[in-house]
C-alpha cells in the first residue's frame, strides 16, 4: 500500500519507502562490519518486525540464520506492562550463538528489556538489538540498543509492519495515524 491509498487517514508522513531502505542499508553496513567472521542469528519479533527483518536480511552481504518469536505483553489496551508471555518460541538453540534481535519499534522498552534477558539466559555468546524506530520520550526502562534506525516523537505511528487494529502493516512507508481513525 502507498500513502495515496490511505489518504485522509494519516496526519503526517514520517518516512518514505526509500528513506527506510536507505536507513536499513546503513544499519546493514554496520552489522556486517561488527559481525565479520561470525555466525549471526537474526531473531525477529512477530508480527511487526516482518518487514524490517525481510529487508535487513536481504540487504546483508553475509550468511545469516533467521528465527522468530511471538510475545505478548500482559496489560490493558496498547500499554506494555513488562510482563511478557511467549506465544511462539524460537526453534534454535542459542548456546554460544551471536544473536541480533530485530524489532520494528521500541516504545516503553519493557518488551525488549525482558526479551534480551530471556535470550541471554539461554547461553548466547552475545545478544544485541536492532530496531528501526525508537521513542526515547516513551522509555520506561533503559535498554541498550546497538542499532537504531530513527528516533521519533511519541506519536501513534503505523506502516512498514506497524499496525493499528492489525491494519496498516502493509503500508510501504511510515506515518502518524490521524486521531479521527482511533478516537
Ligand atoms: C510492538 C513492538 C515491540 C513492542 C514494543 O509490538 O514490535 O515488540 O510493541 O513496545 P514496548 O517497548 O513498549 O515494550 P506489539 O505488541 O504492538 O505487537 P506486534 O509486533 O504484533 O504489532
Q: Spot the catalytic one: 55, 93, 107, 163.
A: 107
For 51-83, write each residue's pLDDT tens digit.
999 999 999 999 999 999 999 876 655 666 678
Distance 105 CA to ligand 1 centre (A): 7
Strand order in the sheet with 10-15: 10-15, 174-177, 157-158
Query: Mean pLDDT by 10-residue block, N- to C-terminus, for the chain (183 residues)?
Result: 97 98 98 97 97 98 98 70 88 97 96 96 98 94 96 97 97 98 93
pLDDT of residue 167: 97
Q: Running DSSP on this structure, what letter comes out for residue 178?
A: P
Residues with CB under 6 A from ligand 1: 45-48, 73, 80, 103-112, 163
pLDDT of residue 73: 79
Q: How far is CA 14 from the centre of its chain?
A: 16
CA gap 150, 4 in Å, rounded: 23
Question: What are the φ and ψ backbone dihedral angles of 34, each rounded to 5 degrees?
Answer: -70, -30
Q: Measuring from atom 10 of ligand 1, which residue has the nearest CA?
A: 107
The three cell numbers of residue 36 are 565479520
Looking at 16-111, which runs of residues are DSSP E strands?
40-46, 64-73, 84-88, 98-106
Q: Running DSSP on this structure, what letter comes out for residue 8?
A: T
What residues does 83 pair with on adjacent strands? none
What DSSP element (H or E) covers 55? helix 50-59
Q: Which of 49, 83, 86, 107 to mutate to test the pocket of ligand 1 (most atoms within 8 A of CB)?
A: 107
Residues 125 and 96: beta-carbon distance below 8 Å: yes
Which atom of ligand 1 is closest in space to residue 72's alpha carbon? Answer: 16
Does the active-site annotation cover 89? no
**144 closest CA partner among 153, 152, 134, 157:** 134
Q: Which residues of 68-88 are buried (b: 16+ CB within 10 A; e: fewer)?
A: bbebebeeeeeebebebeeee
CA gap 142, 133 in Å, rounded: 15
CA gap 72, 106 in Å, rounded: 14
Distance 37 CA to ligand 1 centre (A): 31
Question: What are the φ and ψ backbone dihedral angles of 124, each rounded to 5 degrees?
Answer: -65, 150
Amino acid at each position: 500500500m502507498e500513502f495515496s491509498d490511505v489518504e485522509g487517514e494519516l496526519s503526517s508522513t514520517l518516512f518514505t519507502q526509500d528513506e527506510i531502505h536507505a536507513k536499513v542499508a546503513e544499519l546493514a553496513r554496520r552489522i556486517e562490519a561488527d559481525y565479520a567472521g561470525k555466525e549471526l542469528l537474526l531473531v525477529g519479533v512477530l508480527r511487526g518486525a516482518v518487514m524490517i527483518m525481510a529487508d535487513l536480511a536481504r540487504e546483508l552481504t553475509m550468511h545469516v540464520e533467521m528465527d522468530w518469536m511471538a510475545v505478548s505483553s500482559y496489560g490493558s489496551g496498547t500499554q506494555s506492562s513488562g510482563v511478557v508471555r511467549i506465544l511462539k518460541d524460537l526453534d534454535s538453540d542459542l548456546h554460544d550463538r551471536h544473536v541480533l534481535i530485530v524489532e520494528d519499534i521500541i516504545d516503553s522498552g519493557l518488551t525488549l528489556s525482558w526479551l534480551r534477558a530471556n535470550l541471554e539466559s539461554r547461553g548466547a555468546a552475545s545478544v544485541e538489538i536492532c530496531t528501526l524506530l525508537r521513542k526515547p520520550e516513551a522509555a520506561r526502562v533503559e535498554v541498550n540498543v546497538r542499532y537504531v534506525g530513527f528516533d521519533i516523537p511519541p506519536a501513534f505511528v503505523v506502516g512498514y509492519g506497524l499496525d493499528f487494529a492489525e491494519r496498516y502493516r502493509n503500508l510501504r512507508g511510515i506515518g502518524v495515524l490521524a486521531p479521527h481513525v482511533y478516537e
